[in-house]
Amino acid sequence: MKAQRPLAGQTALITGGSRGIGLAIARKLGEMGARLALCARDTKRLEQADAELRQAGYETLAVAADISQTKEVADLVRRVNEVLGEIDILVNNAGVGIFAPLHELPEDDWDRVINTNLKGVYLCSRAVAPQMIRRGSGQIINISSLAGKNAFAKGGVYCASKWGLQGLTACLAEDLRGYGIRVSTVCPGSVATEFSPHAGKDFTKMLQAEDVAHVVGMLVTQAAQSFVSDVEMRPTQKP
């Protein structure tokens, strides 16, 4: 039974868990036995995802929250602790993408991307780390992107957020590894979701949300003495 459900008894919090990669990760961790806490800003989509996971037999909690807001993150973590227990796995998946030449990008759009993709990871990790430190175990997985390593036109703010996330994750890993806590990034290329239009690409050749979820499942079942710090993902064939 333990081999079939290696995460039995553990609680996983997945931000941006109402659709796409986040929902696929929730399904995967649920299959592995974890209790699932989902957060997102879209209440309707969140309720739909929660209902789907409950119907599949998973223990879930859905909390609408904006992870760029300190109080909402604190309330989210408190609610998860009360209902499902302390958080063993944090998947920082929530993200937004706005693409435009930097000289044409409104300041509000800059703030929205940076506050969600980078500040949100800081706030969630900061809120969860103390309980992991106290227990001497835990896993934080940040869903980044190959855009955190490669530049492209109109990607200024998105790339800045993901390059920043790479640095943040690497430093956080050094801060926490002595406490038995593993911090990793997953960097997919284009994934076939509604996140961005992917005009002209063949969706059948693109990475799928389930591919990213598979990697997350691998990361949370490593042997205790090791951790994979960074995973790059690409499709077998260019779409």
In the residue annotation, 158 being an active-site residue is answered as yes
> Regarding beta strands 138-143 and 35-40, do their DSSP bridges make them parallel or antiparallel, or are they unpaired?
unpaired
d(CA 128, CA 48): 26
Ramachandran bin of 154, using left for φ above 0, alpha for ψ from -120 to 50, beta for the remaining angles: left
The single residue of 58, 122, 158, 179 carrying the catalytic annotation is 158
Of 183, 101, 93, 108, the residue nearest 145 (C-alpha): 93
For residues 168 and 118, is the Cβ–Cβ distance under 8 A? yes
Torsion angle in degrees (nearest 10) through CA of 12, 13, 15, 17:
60
d(CA 209, CA 205): 13
Active site residues: 158
